[in-house]
Amino acid sequence: VTRNAPARETAPTGVAAADAHAELAADSRITAMGLVSEVYNGLVAKTLPQLAEHGVAPAEFEVLLRLSRSAGGRLRMSDLAAQTSLTSSGITRLVDRLERGGLLRRTACPSDRRGLFAELTDTGWERIEAVVPGHVELIDQWLIGLLEPGEREQFLATLRKLRDIVRPGATAGAAGPTDAAAHG
């Protein structure tokens, strides 16, 4: 796309010039990315108030959830960092807050003294149990329940495919790609 309207600054010609350039950004692939973003952010916005009622921020909820799905209700700091979208520094601070709130505690890792576990406390388990039912209801209302069974399965299959390619390290700390080890 070449720029051939040097006098865009003047008001009357501005709109026409903008139209010429808009083609670039109107690319359908950018729109697709925008859809993913809007759906994700929209869903977060829908679930935010219910989490807030329980005093839990979305990132905190994700950490609590990952811990609750792991053997012993605990995971190493570095594994939490790998599984979430936070850096190891961010995990340190988030775990600080949750520990301050009594939802988890740090425990030593016997096999490697550099490592630390974040481990759910009884209070942490109770909090998860208190939050999850309402949370599931909202996901049902704004995501799952809006799709026909066939459409839903196709949608989830595509998401899984994309996730596996785009986020290879998402299962660090678990023995297998589907948490199968937690049942052994």
Residues 143-172 that bind its own copies (CB under 8 A): 143-144, 146-147, 151, 154-156, 158-163, 165-167, 170
Q: Which residue in 23, 113, 149, 150 binds DNA (CB under 7 A)?
A: 113
CA 9 to chain centre: 42
The answer to whether 71 contacts its own copies (rule: CB under 8 A) is yes
Segment lying near DNA (by CB under 7 A), choices 14-22, 109-117, 150-158, 159-167? 109-117
CA distances from 42 to 45, 153, 163 (A): 5, 21, 19
What's the rounded Cα separation, in Å, for the pair 88 and 78? 6
Q: Which does 123 bind (CB under 5 to 8 A by kind): DNA, its own copies, none?
A: none
The answer to whether 93 contacts its own copies (rule: CB under 8 A) is no
Site for DNA in 138-167 (CB under 7 A): none
Segment lying near its own copies (by CB under 8 A), choices 49-57, 95-103, 135-143? 135-143
The strand ranges marked E within the chain are 74-76, 104-108, 116-120
Size of the site for its own copies (CB under 8 A): 75
Nearest to 46 by CA among 144, 128, 123, 161: 144
Taking the complex as a whole, the smallest distance from the CB of residue 113 to its own copies amounts, in Å, to 17
Nearer to DNA, 31 or 85 (CB): 85
Taking the complex as a whole, the smallest distance from the CB of residue 82 to DNA amounts, in Å, to 9
Nearer to its own copies, 96 or 129 (CB): 129
End-to-end CA distance of the chain: 59
Per CB under 7 A, residues contacting DNA are 57, 59, 76-79, 81, 85-97, 106, 109, 112-116
